[in-house]
Amino acid sequence: MIGKKGIEMFHGSKCGITKRFPSPTSTAPVYDQEAKSAIVLEMSPIIKAKAYSTETYNLANFGEFSLAMYFDVMKHSIGYKRIDLVFDRYFEGSLKEATRIERGQGPRYSFEGDLTELPFKMAENFLSNSENKDEMNQYLAKKLLEFHQSYQLLVATYKNTSLVSQTSCSELDQHVPVRPCGAEEADQRLVRHTLNLISNGYKNILVRTIDTDVLTLLISHISQLELGDDVYIHAYLINSVKYYDIIKTIRTLGLDTCHALPFFYAFSGCEIVSSFFGKGKCKMFDVWLHSVYKDDITEIFIKLGNSPIGVTPDQMDILEKYILELYGSRDTSLAAARLDKFNKSKDNDLRSLPPSKNALHQHVLRACYQAGYLWRQSVEEIEIPDPTEWGWEKDYVGSLFHPVWTTAKPLLTVTEFIKTCSCKTGKCKTCNCATAKLQCLSMCGCSRSCQ
């Protein structure tokens, strides 16, 4: 939770958790052609891939670009009876805005529709500005439906609006519309579209996404449904080029573990919640499932992932024990574990220390906000609380959010706390450490041989 440049957000690998799921396949699932089938497409990676392709250099304007995008969508959707397109949206002042600014903001372009000239280096310039992408996504959502003349039902969701292609009246009468979703990210809407397809009787569903977050949310929320044996749902992760069987994963993990996944996934590190340095998702997953407190931890994960009103002291006590197990400590408190690990450290890397209990509490609050509120928008519209009540604070300008690492004040400064000696004999009797009545540290001249 401490970065190389000081206090900053550390991120581990998010996709590591997939190693604990049933092995994926590299070949697309074969569905019954007679059954109702559908594909859900996350549009952001498709747009980005098209923007980087050499084909784009031969396109004059956004009218031609949108037509090329339509051909790509239809290429991915051969054989499916319904096609759902889900676009990202971008909120000013959101938690993710700081991340976008750190990546760099490209120039703002004037966008006027079909005849707007494609900018030079579209991916690097145009797509690195959130306002540009917002306008383009709204344009594409409408434009792709204008092009669509196929028998397939095309549903495009942008912001709180679901657009449906022209089709037969009888088909529209039977179609339960996708409920509006106020989430910023496409993740929640991808899940909501999938759940809508299930409610509309689709038996074969493929979700094409770039994000492991979506896979985790699908597993959790679909595990809470009663499905027949004739329902098949897969997620295709674009970066790994792998197909994951959602139903098989649910049966392998068990219902309680699936229900607890969103909070675990946020707690172990996601885009706006830091990871524990040197503790990947697989390690944390294994410690959880083999913990002597497994049932208590699972119950807490489920509760904190479902619009919690706060975190109780009892819940914090169990989570502290979980973290102590994670770091392999036999101490009874994080404070004792931190001191012991620091004393035994050979490289004195503060990042390898377990968090203090106060820092852990702030970390838990941020995980609650992500899993219990932002990701809950996958299944219901809820009021999103102020992030400053859940482990975040605004900068001095009042525009960007930053994590609250701890609210505790240090008892001593670093120079007051850390004392070392240059003893060589291992007989530390009158050195700095002995005078201060402190144990020698690994950086002392005696290398703790006096202990």
Q: Alpha helix locations (H) across 327-392? A: 334-344, 357-368
- Residues 6 or more apart whose CB falls under 8 angstroms from that of 55 comprise 68
* pLDDT tens by residue, 201-251: 999 999 999 999 999 999 999 999 999 899 999 999 998 899 999 999 999
Residue 169 pLDDT greater than 50, yes or no: no
- Phi and psi angles of residue 85, each rounded to the nearest 5 degrees, phi first: -110, 125
- pLDDT-based confidence at residue 417 (cuts at 50, 70, 90): low
Assign domain 17-255 to its CATH architecture. Answer: 3-Layer(aba) Sandwich (3.40)
Q: What is the dihedral of CA 362, 214, 306, 11, to 10 degrees?
A: -10
DSSP one-letter string for 409-423: PPSS-HHHH------
In percent, the amount of the chain with pLDDT more than 70 equals 84
Residue 140 pLDDT greater than 90, yes or no: yes
For residue 4, the model assigns a pLDDT of 36
- pLDDT-based confidence at residue 430 (cuts at 50, 70, 90): low
Rounded to the nearest 10 degrees, the angle between the axes of helix 313-326 and helix 357-368 is: 110
Mean pLDDT for 113-119 is 90
Q: What is the CA radius of gyration of the chain?
A: 26
13 or 218, which is more confident? Answer: 218
User: At CB < 8 A and 24+ separation, what contacts does 176-180 make?
Assistant: 176/200, 178/84, 179/381, 180/381
SS3 210: coil
- pLDDT-based confidence at residue 346 (cuts at 50, 70, 90): confident
- Taking alpha carbons only, the member of 351, 355, 353, 378 closest to residue 365 is 355
How many other C-beta atoms lie within 10 A of the C-beta of residue 32? Answer: 11
Residue 28 pLDDT greater than 60, yes or no: yes
For residue 215, the model assigns a pLDDT of 96
376 or 185, which is more confident? Answer: 376
Encoded tokens for 354 = 């377990």
How many other C-beta atoms lie within 10 A of the C-beta of residue 373? Answer: 19
- pLDDT-based confidence at residue 101 (cuts at 50, 70, 90): low
* pLDDT tens by residue, 265-287: 999 999 889 999 989 999 999 99
For residue 103, the model assigns a pLDDT of 65
Average pLDDT in the chain? 86
Domain ranges for the chain, please list them: 17-255, 261-406, 410-451
- pLDDT-based confidence at residue 184 (cuts at 50, 70, 90): confident
- pLDDT-based confidence at residue 5 (cuts at 50, 70, 90): very low
Q: What is the DSSP letter of 279?
A: B
For residue 419, the model assigns a pLDDT of 63
Contact at 8 Å (CB) between 17 and 216? Answer: yes
Residue 369 pLDDT greater than 90, yes or no: yes
Mean pLDDT for 150-165 is 80
Look at the alpha carbons of 280, 284, 289, 292 in this order and tell me if their dihedral is positive or negative.
positive
- Give the Cα separation of 431 and 236 in Å (integer): 62
Residue 2 pLDDT greater than 60, yes or no: no
For residue 375, the model assigns a pLDDT of 95
Q: How far is CA 364 from the centre of its chain?
A: 15
Residue 143 pLDDT greater than 70, yes or no: yes
